[in-house]
Chains A and B, each alone.
Chain A
Amino acid sequence: MALAQRTGRVRHRLILLTLVAITLLTVDLRGFESARAAQGFVRDLLHPVNSLATTIFSPVGDIWNSLFEYDDLEAENAALQQELDAMRGAAIQAEADSSAYQQLLESLDLPYAADVATVTARVERGPVGNFASDVVTINKGHRHGLTEGMTVVTGAGLVGRVERVDGVTSTVQLLSDPGLLVGVRLVSTDDVGLGHAVPGEPGMFIINQGPNWPKITDTALLPEIGSAVVTDNDSRYTADVPIGRVVEVRPAADELALEVLVEMANDVEDLAFVSVLITEQREDPPLVDVVPSTSVPLDLDPDLLDPPEEGGAGEVNQ
């Protein structure tokens, strides 16, 4: 009897926990603002404790990394990499500035990042857990003017976008996340496409789709190897932020479309400071509804569907 009661209590408790979890999942997946606010509140509440712990335990991490990753060499390498990144970014930016497309943008009064306010932030920590490797947490948030979707850069170019904003911290989705799509422009051809990081190949970025994206047979439209790739004006990022340089142009798996492989200018795996561009956020441009040629558009006049009467075609031809 007692065992049955105990089993019943356990079962009820499990059912209750499952229902609570399903409710939370539903609320979160449907994007209820209050759920996000509550999570942000908890993170803000624990932020001082986390900051203190980071300060206290950072030597532990340093010792660990020095044992296994040769810390001095890594620091020297990071400094050199930073210098190299800045030079690459400057070179790519110069190329973008001199392009015809840039002149067109300037004529439209949309110069690249002119007078864009920036907030410099320190990377507080890398990814937490084992399943979110392409995010970092920075030490600036709502209180510093950040909102979701803002562009994050360094001197070398694009780093990613602000994904989640709390009061004093924010999470940045890095460019190395293959799920992060970026609207880009190939400076040498002015082609516009969509690209993302290549899974399993750190530092590589691939562009393989876009409106009027050239086919592999369009040899005149192939971008030059070594030419720059920057963010497009119609993307949700600030225009003409350097992404990298073209290292390979190859046919896609279907042997029809073009794939452009880009080496990223920025080493997003090793960041210490970043800048957030404080700009008004834009949504992605709406996709145009494609009506298959065999279907009937909804707004088509029904009279046009009537079969032509005999002789009607002749009248038209006349």
Chain B
Amino acid sequence: MIPLRLGALMLVAVVVQVTVFSDVRILGVAPELLVLLAVMFGYWFGPQRGPTAAFVIGLFWDVYLPTPLGLSAIVFAMVAFAVAASGEELFRDSKLQLAAIAGVGTFAAVAGYALLGEVMGQRGLVDLEMLRVGLIAGLVNAVAAPLTRPVLAWSIGAQSGFGGASRSMISSG
């Protein structure tokens, strides 16, 4: 049941990213919904399951991008792992902390994607525009991050709500 719900969540996210966010842009930047999910997978699911879930959603995204298959997947997995590893050191959950992690994680994912893409032979990914995209997408995801809590909780059948034990609860869910 859990894989089905998680798969459905990923599918809906990919469809929304591909269809809605090709039109709806904020200051010319498409919201990075899939990056947000990857970061939140790392945050909520921990270092064991988070990177794997992020890898899968990155792979979905790669299917639609002109960059080589696997590029987003590995970047998403690494960012999710970094978020999960750093998240373990944090003492309590708060919306502010969640927003900060989402913002920084999104920026790191955008920059990592561009840098690795350049290494793989793609051209024109690393420039000032990359910084602008990373900053705006990071801000948008920082604002949207708290909304992912109930959605992710539903996807693994855990209870929603913020609190000191929410992350461990959702992780063990």
Q: Which residues of A does B touch, CB under 8 Å?
A: 6, 9-10, 13-14, 17-18, 20-25, 27-29, 35, 39, 42-43, 46, 49-50, 53-54, 57-58, 60-61, 64-65, 125-132, 135, 163-164, 171, 178-179, 199
Contact B20 A57 (CB under 8 A): yes
Q: Does B110 contact A (CB under 8 A)?
A: yes
B122, closest chain A residue (CB): A131
A6-B48, A10-B47 known; A130 vs B32 contact (CB < 8 Å)? yes
Contacts A129-B61, A130-B30, A130-B133 supplied; 14 other A-B pairs, CB < 8 Å: A14-B77, A17-B51, A21-B73, A24-B62, A25-B68, A28-B70, A50-B18, A57-B16, A57-B19, A65-B23, A128-B18, A128-B64, A131-B117, A131-B125
Question: Which residues of A lie under 8 Å from residue B48 when comparing CB positions?
Answer: 6, 9-10, 13
Number of A-B contacts (CB under 8 A): 131
Chain B residues whose C-beta falls within 8 Å of the C-beta of A39 in the assembled complex = 62-63, 69
1/0 contact string of B9-20 vs chain A (CB within 8 Å): 001001111111
CB atoms of B22 and A22 under 8 A apart? no
User: Is B166 positioned at the interface, with any CB of A under 8 Å from its CB?
Assistant: no
CB nearest neighbor in B for A179: B123
Assess A29 versus B19: contact at CB under 8 Å? Given A35-B69, A46-B14, A64-B24: no
Q: Which residues of A contact B124 (CB under 8 A)?
A: 178-179, 199
Q: Is B74 touching A21 in the complex (CB atoms < 8 A)? A: yes
Residue numbers in B under 8 Å from A22 (CB-CB): 70, 74
B43 at the interface (CB under 8 A from A): no
Question: Does B65 reach chain A (CB closer than 8 Å)?
Answer: yes
CB-CB under 8 A from B21, the residues of chain A are: 128
Is B37 interfacial (CB 8 A cutoff)? Answer: no
> Which residues of chain A have C-beta atoms less than 8 A from B59's C-beta?
24
B104-142 Cβ-contact flags toward A at 8 Å (1 or 0) = 000000100110010011011100001001000100000
A131 lies within 8 A of B113 (CB): yes
A285 to chain B, nearest CB (A): 23
Task: Give the most central of B11, B30, B60: most A CB within 10 Å.
Answer: B30
Whether the pair A128, B65 counts as a contact (CB closer than 8 A) is: yes
A-B contacts, 16 listed (Cβ < 8 Å) = A6-B48, A10-B81, A14-B81, A17-B73, A21-B74, A24-B68, A29-B68, A43-B64, A57-B16, A61-B24, A129-B30, A131-B65, A131-B130, A132-B65, A171-B66, A199-B124
Inter-chain contacts of B32 with A (CB < 8 A)? 130
Cross-chain contact of A25 among B51, B63, B69, B137 (Cβ < 8 A): B69
Kindly report which residue of chain A lies nearest to residue B23, judged by CB atoms.
A61
What sequence of 0s and 1s flags, for each residue 131-167 of chain B, a beta carbon within 8 Å of any chain A beta carbon? 0010001000000000000000000000000000000
Residues in A with CB closer than 8 Å to B81 are 10, 14
**B171 on the interface (CB 8 Å rule)?**
no
Whether A58 and B23, one on each chain, are in contact in the complex, defined by CB atoms closer than 8 angstroms, is yes
A10 / chain B contacts, CB cutoff of 8 Å: 47-48, 81
Give CA–CA (A177, B123) in the complex, Å.
11
- Is B99 part of the contact surface with A, judged by Cβ < 8 Å? no
Name the CB-closest residue of B to A57.
B20
Assess A27 versus B51: contact at CB under 8 Å? Given A17-B77, A131-B113. Answer: no
Complex Cα gap A199–B61 (Å): 26
Per the bound structure, the CA–CA distance linking A296 and B133 in Å amounts to 52
- Chain B residues, Cβ within 8 Å of A18: 74, 77
- Residue contact B69 to A27, C-beta cutoff 8 Å: yes
Distance of A199 Cα from B20 Cα, bound (Å): 27
Query: Bound complex: CA of A208 vs CA of B71, how far in Å?
Result: 34
Give Cα distance in the complex from A126 to B52, angstroms.
30
Q: Could you say which residues of chain B place their CB within 8 Å of the CB of A135?
A: 66
Residue B172 at the A interface, CB < 8 A? no
Alpha-carbon separation in the docked complex, A261 to B69 (Å): 36
A163 to B67, CA, bound (A): 13
Is A61 a contact of B20 with CB atoms below 8 Å?
yes
Bound Cα distance from A27 to B59, whole angstroms: 14
A6 (CB) vs chain B CBs: closest residue: B48
* Nearest CB on B from A179, distance (A): 6
Closest residue of A by beta carbon distance from B34: A129
Interface hub of B60, B63, B69, B114 (most chain A Cβ within 10 A): B69
